[in-house]
Amino acid sequence: MCTAVRIVVAAAERERRLELRRAAVTAEWEVVGEADGPEAAYGEAVERRARFLVLDASAAGPRPEVLVRRLRSTSPNAFVIGIGDVPGVDATVASDLLDGLRDTIRDLLHSSGDHQHA
């Protein structure tokens, strides 16, 4: 069983944020915040101490790689998963294949080396 993982989802539209939330949450993983743009996504991820920021292309802004670097400087253990075409992220999931989001999160956790099972 995986230890608790905190996730923030970001998308321009509320309905898309709900889709991302449903695609990410499990019994062990909690969506702790939402955002509709890059600055709000950064703020939520830092404030909520999120391990993952799931960043839809609609909320990535013009330079998502800057957001990723900024988040990494504040939260070195955080990962950013882009949904759609989002440059500079740790992993990407196709916009229409959200059912692969949990596997992507799991793979990043396991490859990080600091993931523990309860």
pLDDT tens-digit series, residues 44-73? 999 999 999 999 999 999 999 999 999 999
Could you report the per-residue pLDDT of 77-95, keeping only the tens digit for each? Answer: 999 999 999 999 999 999 9
pLDDT averaged over every residue in the chain: 92
**Predicted confidence band of residue 118 (pLDDT cuts 50, 70, 90):** very low
Domains of the chain: which residue ranges? 5-112
Fold for domain 5-112? Rossmann fold (3.40.50)
Q: How far is CA 116 from CA 11, 44, 74, 112, 113, in A?
A: 29, 24, 22, 10, 8
pTM: 0.92
pLDDT of 103:
95
